[in-house]
Amino acid sequence: MLVEYSSLITLIALTAILAFSFYAVLIAGQLSLAQLGLASLAAFTSSLVVPDEPLFGFIPPLAVGIVFGMCVGILAAFILGLPVIRLRGVFLAIATLAFGEMVRIFLINQTWTNGAQGLGFPKLVGIEVAWIALIVVAYWFWRLSGSRMGRAFAAIREDELAATTMGINVARYRMASFVIAGAVAGLYGVLLAYFSRFADPNEFSFTAAVDGLVTAVVGGVTLFVGPLLGSVFLSVLPELQRLLGINAGWIRPTISGVLLLVVILFLPGGLSGLIPRRKSAKRLVANPALRPDLPALPAPGTELVSLQGIGKSYGGVHAVRSVDLSVQAGEVLGLIGPNGAGKTTLVNMVTGLTPPSTGTGVVLGAALTAGTKAHRLAQSGVARTFQQIKLFNRLSALENVLVGGYRITHDTLLRRLLFLPSARRFEREAVAMASAQLIRVGLGDKAANAAGDLSYGDQRRLEIARALASHPSLLVLDEPAAGMNHVEAGRLSELIRSLAADGIAVLVIEHNVRMMLATCDRIMVLNFGEVIASGKPADIARDPKVLEAYLGSAGNDADVEAASVLAAENLAEVAVELAREHEQGPDAVIGDDAEPNGAAEPEDKR
């Protein structure tokens, strides 16, 4: 049995290794078709260095070939990555495909590869070597999946922009996934050549690349066993058909094609999506003792953001013009104004996503220039949420918050590979810190739910928890109460006050003016990109310019005018009332309908 099928079983392992090479880029949301080109480079160049006898008398020739081939794969992937890594999607796929084909044509035209006649290789790879190699590769990806690096890849795949604002250097991680894929491709090339004893550059063609991609996709990229499942499925299928007596040359590819179509149309997660996953990869760790000590936040009153005359224009349209802004540790600064007033553009500049056109600014010690990188600012302690929610939708709530903790957690890949006890400890610490933030926003019971399945209000809260997980000095919230009812908004207001009490500077954009008056220490009002008012909530509520910008009382509609006057009076009263409550401390803030949250813990005292 084993003898009869030994070739098939070896090929299953080799195909799975090829699929892992595609998997390595797919988990970071990239599609590269260069893998076969890298594999053939590795295979043919290894023929130049592999000795006939063990090197130094004890290193087997195959080991030399494998190490050399993987190094070639890494180097070639890195060199290819330098120009193409900034391409996305279909463009990256086509560029890498072109690279693969160029390698093929180059090798065909070389004499040392024996051109299209192909080159003979000694038979050094059998069933054992192939499976050991596969197990090592699968082990690597298994340990990668739970590490900080693995989470960073997943975050980039789900939402690059959000990943950047967690402090993840997207370009570097994309390159890393490229290089890992190159190493695996190199391994595959060498193993295949020394298994089949013959290699011809034309075997490493576009069609072969498509087969590798299909294997990875059929297996699924959500679980590290996907490539193996894909390989088994696609290799065994023709064999089964043969056993069933289906021999006509065309029936097998037809059935394979139909099955592939069925998998891609009806199993979005591939075959590995069929494997029931544990409800939650990790449980909440609610024990505060497990949380490590974190560095102190800046002392209250320290100026964290200081902008002078900052402005942004898009092709002649001034989204923001000449705004001065200062935010201090421990204060809540509100930004209000009609839609399109430039609020989001302003906070995009503060968080490094948009370079300012004019003016100067310093955020947590870093100057805002055209070269400011959002991930650098995030690393120095800026965290944010988005107006259009940007969660990592297919990751669980807890995993989202774990990614948020990127800045303050350790990379555990190497430790995990070696099964060091410190890996477990670091992971538990990361989970403990993330759990604390989930519980703090009231999502403790939803840790295992996929972020995309949460309700709108819960998604907003999860975004806040994810931002808090980086232990930020400055937290930027863009319309955090959108989609929340007034009870939820009240709780959110309490949360924001408690963050400020911890010493975090909070910059918040919100249309719920009532909540803003209750929550903020200071409010700035923007209209048409300019600051039209700035000051204490009670003063803002009485400012006629603010009322006009918001209510449009310029018209002659008597109803509206009456309504706006009514609203103005109403608000002024509310504001005075709230200001009074404020002075009694954060605990007394509009607490009437905000019941204490059952799951909430006493907050983390640092």
Binding mask 326-345 for another protein (x = CB under 8 A): ------------xxx-----
Q: Cβ distance 66 to 192 under 8 Å?
A: no
For another protein, the binding residues in 213-232 under the rule CB under 8 A are 213-214, 217
In the complex, minimum distance from the CB of residue 193 to another protein, in angstroms, rounded to a whole number? 22
Q: Cβ distance 213 to 22 under 8 Å?
A: yes
When binding is defined by CB under 8 A, the residue of 41, 69, 70, 101 that contacts another protein is: 101
Q: Is 36 in the site for another protein (CB under 8 A)?
A: no
Q: Cβ distance 591 to 494 under 8 Å?
A: yes
Q: 595: which residues sit within 8 A by CB, 6+ positions away? A: none
Block residue for tokens 């160029």: 102
Q: Is 565 in the site for another protein (CB under 8 A)?
A: no
* Choices 7-15, 100-108, 186-194, 279-287; region in contact with another protein by CB under 8 A: 100-108
When binding is defined by CB under 8 A, the residue of 109, 308, 369, 422 that contacts another protein is: 109
Furthest C-alpha separation in the chain: 98
* Choices 308-316, 357-365, 461-469, 511-519; region in contact with another protein by CB under 8 A: 511-519
For another protein, the binding residues in 524-543 under the rule CB under 8 A are 528
**Backbone torsion region of residue 365, taken as left when φ is above 0, otherwise alpha when ψ lies between -120 and 50, otherwise beta:** left
Q: Cβ distance 327 to 503 under 8 Å?
A: no
Binding mask 64-83 for another protein (x = CB under 8 A): -------------------x
Q: Is 361 in the site for another protein (CB under 8 A)?
A: no
In the complex, minimum distance from the CB of residue 24 to another protein, in angstroms, rounded to a whole number? 15
Using only C-alpha atoms, what is the Rg of the chain?
29
For the chain, the distance separating the N- and C-terminal CA atoms, rounded to the nearest angstrom, is 64
Q: Is 117 in the site for another protein (CB under 8 A)?
A: no
SS3 call for 97 = helix
* Choices 63-71, 468-476, 556-564, 597-605; region in contact with another protein by CB under 8 A: 556-564
* Choices 88-96, 274-282, 470-478, 578-586; region in contact with another protein by CB under 8 A: 88-96
Binding mask 376-405 for another protein (x = CB under 8 A): -----------------x------------
Q: Is 237 in the site for another protein (CB under 8 A)?
A: no
Return the C-alpha torsion angle 250, 253, 254, 255, nearest 10.
120
When binding is defined by CB under 8 A, the residue of 51, 54, 55, 91 that contacts another protein is: 91
Give me the sign of the Cα torsion angle 355, 360, 365, 371.
positive
CA 194 to chain centre: 38
* Choices 46-54, 94-102, 376-384, 583-591; region in contact with another protein by CB under 8 A: 94-102
SS3 call for 368 = coil
In the complex, minimum distance from the CB of residue 486 to another protein, in angstroms, rounded to a whole number? 5
CA 40 – CA 73 distance, rounded (Å): 9
In the complex, minimum distance from the CB of residue 120 to another protein, in angstroms, rounded to a whole number? 21
For another protein, the binding residues in 297-316 under the rule CB under 8 A are none
Q: Is 548 in the site for another protein (CB under 8 A)?
A: yes
Q: Is 452 in the site for another protein (CB under 8 A)?
A: yes
Of all helices (H) and strands (E), which one includes residue 313?
strand 303-314
* Choices 24-32, 137-145, 167-175, 491-499; region in contact with another protein by CB under 8 A: 24-32
In the complex, minimum distance from the CB of residue 95 to another protein, in angstroms, rounded to a whole number? 4
Q: Which is nearer to another protein, 436 or 515 (CB)?
A: 515
- Assigned token pair, 379: 């690393």
SS3 breakdown of the chain: % helix, strand, coil, rounded to 5? 55, 10, 30
Helices marked H in 384-505 — which ranges? 397-404, 413-417, 421-440, 456-468, 486-502
Q: Is 511 in the site for another protein (CB under 8 A)?
A: yes
Q: Cβ distance 3 to 214 under 8 Å?
A: no
Q: Is 455 in the site for another protein (CB under 8 A)?
A: yes
Block residue for tokens 């007034």: 486
Q: 238: which residues sit within 8 A by CB, 6+ positions away? A: 252, 256
For another protein, the binding residues in 248-287 under the rule CB under 8 A are 248-254, 256-258, 260-261, 264-265, 268
Q: Cβ distance 474 to 304 under 8 Å?
A: yes
Q: Is 110 in the site for another protein (CB under 8 A)?
A: no
* Choices 194-202, 377-385, 493-501, 558-566; region in contact with another protein by CB under 8 A: 558-566
Q: Which is nearer to another protein, 388 or 584 (CB)?
A: 388
